[in-house]
Amino acid sequence: MKLTKEDKAKLSALAHSEGWLLIEGLAREALASITRRLQVERFDDLSDIARLQGEITGMERVLSYVNNRLDKERG
């Protein structure tokens, strides 16, 4: 997706907000919880593992995208 200047400004404002810090913290807590589940639980259905791995991947992509945009913004 090609971002316009306006889109970049909106993303920057989001990333610098207290709300983003809250979302990022909640996502990191969820990632830690899911990772613990994958480490300690026994799964009889491999699709449950795949679903949890998908959740991890999705959250990490969102966090990485915003952090990468911030890195580009900083130079």
Q: Per-residue pLDDT tens for 28-64?
A: 999 999 999 999 999 999 999 999 999 999 999 999 9
| Residue environment code for 56-73, b if the CB has 16+ CB neighbours within 10 A, otherwise e | eeebeeebeebeebeeee
pLDDT of amino acid 3 = 87
State the pLDDT at residue 36: 98
Cα–Cα nearest to 8, from 74, 75, 73 = 73
pLDDT tier, 75 (very low <50, low <70, confident <90, very high otherwise): confident
2 touches 41 (CB < 8 A): no
**pLDDT tier at 69 (50, 70, 90 boundaries)?**
confident
